[in-house]
Amino acid sequence: MKRLPFTPLVLSALAVLFLAAAPALAQQDMTHVPTEAFKKLTRPPAAFAHDTHNEKAGLADCTACHHGEKDGKRDAASDTAGIPCSDCHAVAAKPGKTPLERAFHRQCMGCHLTQKKGPVTCGDCHKPAAK
Ligand code: HEC
Ligand code: HEC
Ligand code: HEC
Ligand code: HEC
């Protein structure tokens, strides 16, 4: 019998390499806001080409979106880039906490409204995937 070139050990080593490389690529390659936290989607995922968006919008400061937490409050100064919003904002509503959908809507639309730039209507963010 011929030996298979890919033993389970080789395969798992490849998987580790791939997983290690993925986070470094993810933010450049992002085209949409990740939606894994939502159990079921009722809208197409919101368009968001991370790096291109931030370049066009002139957002060099990561804390413009990636804030932290201190004593249960929003800590605007701490940089949490790379931590999913859902780590702190649960999908389900809890007293005194901004649930995930509202956290996104307030942050994204809030800035677009104050700057009078960027989409503010449902269909301009939740665009059906191009065919
Ligand atoms: C500035 C962009 C933006 C606009 C405008 C916007 N959304 Fe969203 N919305 C998001 C983001 C980001 C999320 C979280 C990621 C996702 O689900 O795509 C989200 C999530 C949602 C969700 C929860 C996930 C799901 O698919 O069920 C619903 C429902 C939703 N939006 C409805 C709306 C409706 C209705 C409007 C218009 C009144 C709207 N959104 C306008 C960006 C936007
Ligand atoms: C306009 C808002 C905004 C700005 C500014 C911003 N990000 Fe993000 N970033 C996001 C959103 C939204 C996500 C997805 C969060 C989630 O998964 O819940 C994200 C995700 C990431 C991820 C994870 C990628 C992945 O696929 O898991 C990294 C890393 C990241 N950002 C780094 C940065 C760095 C570094 C900066 C500053 C140079 C920055 N971000 C500025 C909005 C922003
Ligand atoms: C380390 C925890 C943490 C992370 C990560 C985090 N937040 Fe928050 N955020 C908080 C806390 C704490 C508050 C204040 C209590 C509340 O409203 O839930 C807050 C408040 C908010 C508010 C409402 C208050 C305001 O000043 O606008 C929005 C909107 C928001 N976050 C959006 C986001 C988005 C979008 C992301 C991901 C890009 C994110 N947050 C990531 C902890 C976090
Ligand atoms: C701090 C301000 C700010 C925040 C936060 C922000 N945006 Fe924007 N966004 C802008 C500006 C400014 C533009 C217009 C850029 C230009 O001149 O083309 C824009 C443009 C866009 C566009 C149009 C296409 C593009 O990429 O330029 C989309 C889609 C968009 N934003 C989605 C989002 C989503 C989704 C979020 C939340 C995860 C978000 N934005 C958060 C400032 C912001």
- Condensed to tens digits (0 to 9), the pLDDT of residues 17-36 reads 565 555 556 788 999 999 99
- Condensed to tens digits (0 to 9), the pLDDT of residues 103-128 reads 999 999 999 999 999 999 999 999 98
**Quick check: is 67 in a domain?**
yes
**Quick check: is 10 in a domain?**
no
**Quick check: is 22 in a domain?**
no
Q: How far is CA 126 from CA 38, 43, 95, in A?
A: 14, 6, 28
125 CB-contact burial (10 Å; exposed 0-12 / middle 13-18 / buried 19+) = buried
Handedness of CA 99, 100, 105, 110 (dihedral sign): positive
The rounded percent of the chain whose pLDDT value lies above 90 is 76
Q: What's the pTM value of the predicted model, to 2 decimals?
A: 0.92
Angle at 113 between CA 112 and CA 114, to 5 degrees: 95
Q: Position 82: which residue type?
A: G
- Residues within the annotated binding site for heme c? 50, 53, 62, 65-67, 108, 111-112, 122, 125-126
What pLDDT is attached to residue 80? Answer: 97
Ligand 4 close to Cβ of residue 35 (< 6 A): no
Number of structural domains found in the chain:
1
Q: How far is the CA of 61 from the centre of ligand 1 (A)?
A: 24
What pLDDT is attached to residue 5? Answer: 61
